[in-house]
């Protein structure tokens, strides 16, 4: 009896030892900071010799009254609601296209994937030149057609959509790869059967391709949504949150409060809101959508 | 005894002597940002090496810390982790943030000898306005600037204006601007008269307008702002009118970073930007250009800008003394002249302009002296307690006004209310 118990213990020990590096890393860089952030959000910001004191929900009350927070929150929701479906639709279209037997398929796939390889800040700088008034690429094109030059990043109405375009452009190519992989997993017999029934290509897509792609779509949607709330690089590189907070997004605002205003208590409270938002999104997606999805 | 052992003995002896007289060599960590083009890192490393040569018992370890914003973030976080730099170059407007966090040592507490006291008084008074508060001197000017106007002489000639005469007043600026704004057949503008950047930190350029209109935005102790002064509202209205009513400037937000490029490309005939861009413009403008002091309304003038040398608190008196020595070295007339020539920043003290190197430079490039001559009209850059929040309120208001989202008065009323709310805790 003693020997098997020892070996079982040994196996448990081995198991724990194997996950130890991952557990330590996750705990140090993710879970402990997350818990500390929640705790910090109930304290005031320490200044010099004035230590942090417990202030309950004061930071959250400030937040409710803070117009910039609400604007950033609203901008971020818009950002998610618009960029996620657009990026997914575009990714799917591109995947369907480069999945077919066409000439120069490899080159096309590479072209669609290129934006993903670029670092965000580099991409943002390229787009800065597209958006530059007067001699930027976009304005040169629209001026050819006789329109006035548009100050894309300098007007509140166009600045946020201009940033969204960069996100869609950058993410669609990445998501295309997942759809492409999924498309190649669809059993060809289904398509053959459909052909024998003389089904239209729209019907094939609606009844075969789309349902079988659902797990991938869910995965991509979760990632895209999370990414939409993690946008910060292009805001810093392209607009700095302006004009007049028109492009302020949650993470950017947190960064500004923490490292420009040095208000770590308030930044912690804002972070808690962001964390909870992300948790709720992930929860809804996994537990509600999951049931409607066909897994093989 | 061969040569090698003799060398060893000598080295050992020297080590004993040095080690005896100085228990341990003092090491200083020195943070510095880079905000302009050029081989800055090399120059700074050179200064550090030169300093150690003159003071063998002090080693300076220069650390490049990114932009101004990155640098303050690094200095503050390092300080919170108990590992503050000894000396750092940070924005002069960061002064109150550093004071409120009790991170820096006032110079008057350590610079006590007569020579030290004379040194503090050696700089242009305009630069010292952003370096002193509450009766103490917290920063020493290092890389400082003002706003100047640049104009394209070829474009002036083409528009029938005297290429040697930049606008001297607001009226002239609008008048010239109208003549310089060119449209093609369809009515689209091909060349603007003027660009005043408004992205990122519009308050700084706006402060030139308020100064010229005779207003002062904040008090010396950084506890009160005057965003709703009628002269300030008038200046904001004028800023918006340049693109709205007079149509001599592009609409919406004008990007700080691309403004020099617009100037090089001939998209604007005049621009306002820092003197720190002087070397950049000199290298890239393919036409004859001029540099002039700001135009006047009630008066001329510009806010100053740029970075100061700060000494961080330390219990080790020897370190503070060494840090002071290094600050004095960095701000010596020869260094101030050298740094100004290499970067385009304004050399920070009058005697720097009397050095041979500087005399030679201004003789062949008189534009370099424009910013210095403007210093007599310069005012302190807007700086208060909780500085970034208080200036952001103004930035937001200005961008709302410039993009037509709000009228000047209500926008500035909002900004004043926000600033007052933030500053109440500092008004003892």
Would you state the structure tokens that stand for residue A241, as one six-digit string? Answer: 């949150």
State yes or no: pLDDT of A295 exceeds 70: no
- The conformational region for residue B197 under phi > 0 = left, psi -120 to 50 = alpha, else beta, is beta
What's the structural domain count of chain B?
2
The pLDDT-based confidence of A292 (bands split at 50, 70, 90) is low
**Percent of chain A with pLDDT strictly greater than 90:** 36
Residue B353's pLDDT is: 93
Provide CB contacts within 8 A for B77, sequence distance 6+: none
Residue B37's pLDDT is: 66
From the list B174, B176, B170, the residue with the least C-alpha distance to B208 is B170
Give ∠ CA B322-B326-B332 in degrees, rounded to 5: 145
Compare B296 and A296 and report the one with higher pLDDT: B296
Distance (Å, whole) CA B116 – CA B331 = 12
User: The domain at A67-292 falls in which architecture?
Assistant: Orthogonal Bundle (1.10)
In the DSSP assignment, the letter for residue B246 is S
Residue A8's pLDDT is: 73
Provide CB contacts within 8 A for B113, sequence distance 6+: none
Distance (Å, whole) CA A96 – CA A99 = 5
Distance (Å, whole) CA B101 – CA B76 = 9
Q: How far is B15 from chain A (nearest CA, A)?
A: 41
This prediction has a pTM of 0.85
Contact B403 A49 (CB under 8 A): no
Low-confidence ranges of chain B (pLDDT < 50): 1, 7-8, 13-23
Residue A3's pLDDT is: 53
Q: What share of chain A is helix, strand, coil (3-state, %, to 5)?
A: 75, 0, 25
Would you state the structure tokens that stand for residue B129, as one six-digit string? Answer: 């306005």
Which residue segment(s) compose the domain that B188 sits in? 147-304+383-426
Beta-bridged to residue B145, according to DSSP, are B305
Same-domain status, B244 and B391: yes
Contacts of A146 in chain B (CB under 8 A): 186
From the list A244, A248, A134, the residue with the least C-alpha distance to B404 is A244
Residue B22's pLDDT is: 45
User: Tell me, what's the ipTM?
Assistant: 0.81
Q: How far is B374 from chain A (nearest CA, A)?
A: 30
Distance (Å, whole) CA B377 – CA B370 = 12
Same-domain status, B123 and B218: no
Over residues A149-179, the pLDDT tens digits come to 888 998 889 999 999 999 999 999 999 999 9
Distance (Å, whole) CA B97 – CA B16 = 44
Could you write out the DSSP letters of every residue in B312-323?
B--S-HHHHHHH
**Percent of chain A with pLDDT strictly greater than 70:** 95
Residue B23's pLDDT is: 45
Say how many residues make up chain B: 428
Same-domain status, B228 and B194: yes
Contact A154 B200 (CB under 8 A): no
Would you state the structure tokens that stand for residue B119, as one six-digit string? Answer: 């040194």
What Cα–Cα distance (Å) separates residue A146 from each residue in A66, A140, A162, B189? 43, 10, 21, 12
Same-domain status, B230 and B166: yes
Our measurement of the distance from residue A218's CA atom to the centroid of its chain's CA atoms, rounded to an integer in Å, reads 13
From the list B111, B88, B51, B42, the residue with the least C-alpha distance to B339 is B42
Residue A52's pLDDT is: 83
CATH code (residue B300): 3.40.190.10
Residue A100's pLDDT is: 80
Over residues A48-77, the pLDDT tens digits come to 667 888 888 888 998 998 999 999 999 999
Contact B199 A242 (CB under 8 A): yes
Nearest to B265 among A135, A153, A242 (CB): A135
Distance (Å, whole) CA B273 – CA B77 = 31
Over residues B97-153, the pLDDT tens digits come to 999 888 999 999 998 899 999 999 999 999 999 999 889 999 999 999 999 999 999
Over residues A228-249, the pLDDT tens digits come to 998 898 898 888 887 989 999 9
Among B360, B377, B394, give the residue marking a domain's end. Answer: B377
3-state secondary structure of A50: strand
Would you state the structure tokens that stand for residue B156, as one six-digit string? Answer: 């002036």
How many pairs of residues across A and B have Cβ atoms under 8 Å apart? 80
Provide CB contacts within 8 A for A177, sequence distance 6+: A113, A116
Beta-bridged to residue B104, according to DSSP, are B312
3-state secondary structure of A102: coil
Our measurement of the distance from residue B157's CA atom to the centroid of its chain's CA atoms, rounded to an integer in Å, reads 32
Beta-bridged to residue B143, according to DSSP, are B307
Residue B19's pLDDT is: 43
Distance (Å, whole) CA B208 – CA B302 = 4
3-state secondary structure of B226: coil
Residue B330's pLDDT is: 94
Nearest to B101 among A48, A156, A261 (CB): A48
Our measurement of the distance from residue B411's CA atom to the centroid of its chain's CA atoms, rounded to an integer in Å, reads 27
Same-domain status, B268 and B122: no
Same-domain status, B388 and B364: no
Residue B21's pLDDT is: 43
CA closest to A51 among chain B residues? B101
Would you state the structure tokens that stand for residue A129, as one six-digit string? Answer: 């030149």
Distance (Å, whole) CA B195 – CA B208 = 14
């Amino acid at each position: 009896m003693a020997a098997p118990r020892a070996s079982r213990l040994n196996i448990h020990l081995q198991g724990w030892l194997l996950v130890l590096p991952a557990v330590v890393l996750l705990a140090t860089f993710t879970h402990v900071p997350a818990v500390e952030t929640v705790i910090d959000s109930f304290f005031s910001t320490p200044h010099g010799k004035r230590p942090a004191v417990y202030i309950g929900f004061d930071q959250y009350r400030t937040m409710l009254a803070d117009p910039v927070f609400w604007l950033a929150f609203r901008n971020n929701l818009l950002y998610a609601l618009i960029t996620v479906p657009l990026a997914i639709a575009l990714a799917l279209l591109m995947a369907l296209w480069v999945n077919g037997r066409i000439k120069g398929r490899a080159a096309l796939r590479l072209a669609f994937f290129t934006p993903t390889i670029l670092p965000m800040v580099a991409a943002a700088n390229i787009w800065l030149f597209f958006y530059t008034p007067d001699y930027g690429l976009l304005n040169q094109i629209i001026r050819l057609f006789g329109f006035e030059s548009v100050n894309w990043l300098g007007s509140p109405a166009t600045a946020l959509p201009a940033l969204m375009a960069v996100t869609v452009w950058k993410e669609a190519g990445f998501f295309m790869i997942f759809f492409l992989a999924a498309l190649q997993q669809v059993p060809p017999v289904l398509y053959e059967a459909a052909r024998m029934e003389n089904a239209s290509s729209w019907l094939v897509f609606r009844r075969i391709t789309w349902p079988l792609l659902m797990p991938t779509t869910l995965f991509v949607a979760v990632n895209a949504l999370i990414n939409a709330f993690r946008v910060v690089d292009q805001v810093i590189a392209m607009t700095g949150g302006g004009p007049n907070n028109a492009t302020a997004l949650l993470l950017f605002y947190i960064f500004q409060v923490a490292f420009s205003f040095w208000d770590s208590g308030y930044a912690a409270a804002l972070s808690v809101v962001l964390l909870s938002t992300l948790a709720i999104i992930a929860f809804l997606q996994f537990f509600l959508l999951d049931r409607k999805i066909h897994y093989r | 005894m061969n040569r090698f052992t003799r060398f060893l003995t000598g080295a050992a002896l020297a080590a004993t002597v040095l080690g005896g007289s100085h228990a341990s060599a003092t090491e200083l960590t020195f943070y510095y940002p880079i905000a302009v083009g050029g081989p800055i890192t090399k120059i700074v490393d050179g200064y550090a090496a030169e300093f150690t040569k003159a003071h063998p018992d002090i080693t300076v370890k220069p650390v490049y810390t990114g932009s101004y914003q990155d640098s303050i973030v690094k200095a503050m976080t390092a300080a919170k982790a108990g590992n503050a730099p000894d000396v750092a170059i940070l924005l002069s407007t960061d002064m109150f943030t550093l004071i409120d966090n009790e991170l820096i040592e006032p110079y008057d507490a350590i610079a006590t000898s007569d020579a030290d006291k004379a040194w503090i008084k050696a700089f242009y008074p305009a630069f010292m306005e952003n370096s002193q508060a509450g009766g103490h001197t917290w920063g020493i000017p290092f890389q400082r600037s003002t706003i100047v106007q640049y104009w394209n002489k070829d474009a002036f000639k083409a528009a029938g204006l005297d290429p040697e005469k930049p606008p001297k007043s607001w009226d002239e600026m609008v008048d010239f601007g109208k003549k310089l704004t060119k449209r093609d057949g369809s009515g689209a503008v091909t060349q603007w008269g003027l660009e005043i950047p408004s992205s990122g930190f519009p308050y700084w350029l706006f402060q030139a307008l308020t100064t010229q209109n005779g207003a002062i935005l904040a008090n010396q102790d950084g506890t009160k702002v005057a965003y709703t002064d009628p002269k300030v509202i008038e200046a904001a209205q004028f800023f918006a009118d340049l693109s709205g009513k007079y149509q001599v400037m592009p609409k919406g937000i004008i990007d700080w970073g691309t403004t020099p490029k617009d100037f090089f490309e001939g998209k604007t005939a005049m621009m306002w930007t820092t003197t720190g861009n002087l070397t950049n413009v000199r290298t890239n403008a393919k036409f004859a250009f001029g540099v002039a002091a700001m135009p006047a309304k009630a008066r001329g003038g510009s806010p100053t800008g740029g970075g100061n040398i700060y000494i961080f608190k330390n219990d080790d008196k020897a370190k503070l003394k060494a840090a002071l020595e290094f600050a004095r070295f960095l701000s010596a007339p020869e260094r101030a002249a050298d740094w100004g020539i290499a970067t385009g920043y304004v050399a920070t003290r009058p005697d720097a302009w009397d050095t041979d190197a500087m005399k030679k430079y201004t003789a062949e490039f008189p534009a370099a002296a424009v910013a210095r001559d403007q210093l007599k009209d310069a005012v302190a850059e807007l700086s208060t307690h909780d500085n970034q929040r208080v200036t952001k309120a103004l930035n937001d208001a200005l961008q709302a006004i410039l993009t037509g989202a709000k009228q000047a008065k209500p926008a500035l009323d909002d900004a004043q209310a926000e600033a007052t709310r933030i500053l109440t805790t500092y008004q003892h």
